[in-house]
Amino acid sequence: MVNVLLVFALVSAASAFHLSGQEEFHFKSWMAQHNKMYSMKEYYNRLQIFAQNKRMIDKHNEGNHSFTMRLNQFSDMTFSEFRKSFLWSEPQNCSATRGNYLSSNGPRPDSIDWRKKGNYVTDVKNQLSCGSCWTFSTTGCLESVTAIATGRLVPLSEQQLVDCAQDFNNHGCNGGLPSQAFEYIMYNKGLMTELDYPYTATEGICKYQSQMASAYVKDVVNITAYDEMEMVDAVATHNPVSFAFEVTPDFMHYHQGVYTSTKCHNTTDKVNHAVLAVGYGEDNGTPYWIVKNSWSSSWGIDGYFLIERGKNMCGLAACSSFPVV
Ligand SMILES: *[C@@H]1O[C@H](CO)[C@@H](O)[C@H](O)[C@H]1NC(C)=O
Ligand SMILES: *[C@@H]1O[C@H](CO)[C@@H](O)[C@H](O)[C@H]1NC(C)=O
Ligand SMILES: *[C@@H]1O[C@H](CO)[C@@H](O)[C@H](O)[C@H]1NC(C)=O
Ligand SMILES: *[C@@H]1O[C@H](CO)[C@@H](O)[C@H](O)[C@H]1NC(C)=O
C-alpha cells in the first residue's frame, strides 16, 4: 500500500510538470558534477526546479541576447531561495546624494582592466550561503587599492567584517555596505588578512587583534549617487571601485556576454548585491563594466561578469565607493 501511494505520488508529481527522461538525465549529470545528494522526496522537488531553470536557460540562449546563460551551482534553487541565501534581505542605507569624489577631468582611456595592469586583483572568492557580498566587495577593493599603493597584493579578511562591523550599520550575513565597511576599517584602525582571520560563512564573535592588522584606510570616498561618469573617472584614474546593483532571476544563470535587463530597477532602495568594478571597455558599440563577483570562479566568466555601462543598469551607479590608503 505504501509503495503504491509512493509510486502514485511520484508519477503525479512528474506528470503534473511533464518531465522528460532527458531532463532527468541532465539533472543526474548536473548532480554528479556538483556533488549533490538528496532524499527521495527532495530529489523530485529539486528535479522539477532544475528542469524549470534549464528550460528558461535554453529558451534564453535560443533568443537574440547580448549575454548567454548556463547551468551552474545554483540550478537546483528557485530565485526566492537564492535571494534568501545570497542577497541582502532588506534594503541598505545606500545613498550618497552628494559624494566627496573629486573628478580628475583628465584623459580617460577607452578601456582599462586592472587585472592586466599588474598584480592588483586577488583571485575570485566564494561567499557561500551568507549575504556577505558587501564584505567581498570591500576586501576586493581594499586589496587592490593597497596593492596599487604598496606593490603588495594580500587577500584580506571578510570574516572580520562579518563579525565586527555592526556598529557601522552592517549586518553580517544579512547585508551591509562597502562604504560603511570602509568606515569601520578606518575607525577600527585596521583589517586582518584572510589567512589570519579566515572566512566561515557564518556570523561569529569578533576576534579582531589590532597587533595583527594588515591593511588600513585613511579616508572613504563616496561617489555621488547615479553619477556613472564619476565611477568611470575613478576606475580610469585611481583604482577598482565597489558598487551595488539589483540582482533579478535572469542574472542567477549568467554565463558570458554583456548583461542587460529590463526586469531590474535603477534605484538605491532596490539594490541587493555588492561587487567590484575592476575595469571597463566596449564591445561592438556597447560599453560595459568588467566586474568581480564572489560566487566562485566557476560562475560566469571565471567568476567575473560584464554589465552594460552608461545607463545606470540595475542601479549600479546608486552607491559606489572606495577607500584611500
Ligand atoms: C539581434 O540583435 C541585434 C542587436 O539588438 C540586432 O542588431 C540584430 O539584427 C538581431 N538579429 C536578429 C536575427 O534578430
Ligand atoms: C539605516 O540608518 C538608520 C540610521 O542610522 C539605522 O537606524 C538603520 O538601521 C539603517 N538601516 C540599515 C539596513 O542598516
Ligand atoms: C560615505 O558613506 C558612509 C556610509 O554610507 C558615510 O558614513 C560617510 O559619512 C560618507 N562619507 C562622506 C565623506 O560623505
Ligand atoms: C530610472 O529609469 C527611468 C526609466 O527609464 C528613468 O526615467 C530614470 O531617469 C532612471 N533613474 C535613474 C536614477 O537612473
Q: pLDDT digits over 120-175, tens only?
A: 999 999 999 999 999 999 999 999 999 999 999 999 999 999 999 999 999 999 99
- Residue 228 CA to residue 154 CA, distance in Å, equals 29
Q: Is 312 in the pocket of ligand 4 (CB under 6 A)?
A: yes
Q: What are the pocket residues of ligand 2 if the criterion is a CB atom closer than 6 Å to any ligand atom?
A: 90, 92-93, 169
Q: Is residue 23 part of a domain?
A: no
Question: Nearest to residue 213, comparing CAs of 173, 240, 186?
Answer: 186
What's the confidence (pLDDT) of residue 6?
45
User: What's 214's domain CATH number?
Assistant: 3.90.70.10
Active-site annotation holder among 53, 72, 272, 293? 293
Task: Give the bridge partners for 276, in sequence order.
Answer: 242, 292
C-alpha cell at 69: 546563460
Q: Looking at 171, 253, 255, 273, which residue is catalytic?
A: 273
Residue 94 covered by a domain: yes
Helix, strand or coil for residue 82?
helix
Query: What's the CA angle centered on 142, arms 177 and 281, to 5 degrees?
Result: 90
Domain assignment present for 15: no
Cell 555601462 belongs to: 309
User: Number of structural domains, the chain?
Assistant: 1
Which pLDDT tens digit goes with each residue over 51-105? 999 999 999 999 999 999 999 999 999 999 999 999 998 889 987 788 999 998 8
| Residues in Cβ contact with 285 at an 8 Å cutoff, skipping those fewer than 6 apart | none
Structural domain includes residue 11: no
Q: Give the residue, by CA position, lying nearest to ligand 4 atom 9.
A: 266
pLDDT of residue 16: 58
Coil/strand/helix, residue 47 = helix
In a domain, residue 271? The reply is yes
> How far apart are the CA of 183 and the centre of ligand 3, in A?
7
pTM check: above 0.95: no
Predicted local confidence at residue 105, as pLDDT: 81
Residue 292 lies in a domain: yes
Q: Catalytic residue at 222?
A: no
Q: Is 265 a catalytic residue?
A: no
Tell which one of 93, 168, 319 to mutate to probe ligand 2, the residue whose CB is within 8 A of the most ligand atoms. Answer: 93
Structure confidence at residue 95 (pLDDT): 77
Q: Would residue 5 count as lying in a domain? A: no
Residues 190-200 have pLDDT tens digits of: 999 999 999 99
For the cut 60, the answer to whether the pLDDT of residue 243 exceeds it is: yes
Share of the chain above pLDDT 70, in %: 95
Can you say whether the dihedral through the CA atoms of 14, 51, 46, 263 is positive or negative?
negative
Which residues of 185-224 form beta strands (DSSP E)? 219-222
Residue 82: the pLDDT is 97
- How far does residue 19's CA lie from ligand 4's centre (Å)? 41
Domain that holds residue 275: 81-324
Mean predicted confidence (pLDDT) in 287-311: 98
Ligand of minimum distance to the alpha carbon of 91: 2
C-alpha cell at 228: 556613472
Are 133 and 274 a contacting pair, CB within 8 Å? yes
pLDDT on residue 3: 45
Q: What is the pLDDT of residues 11-62, one digit of tens each?
A: 444 445 788 999 999 999 999 999 999 999 999 999 999 999 999 999 999 9
Cβ–ligand 3 distance for 222 under 6 Å, the answer yes
- The closest-lying atom of ligand 2 relative to the alpha carbon of residue 175 is 13
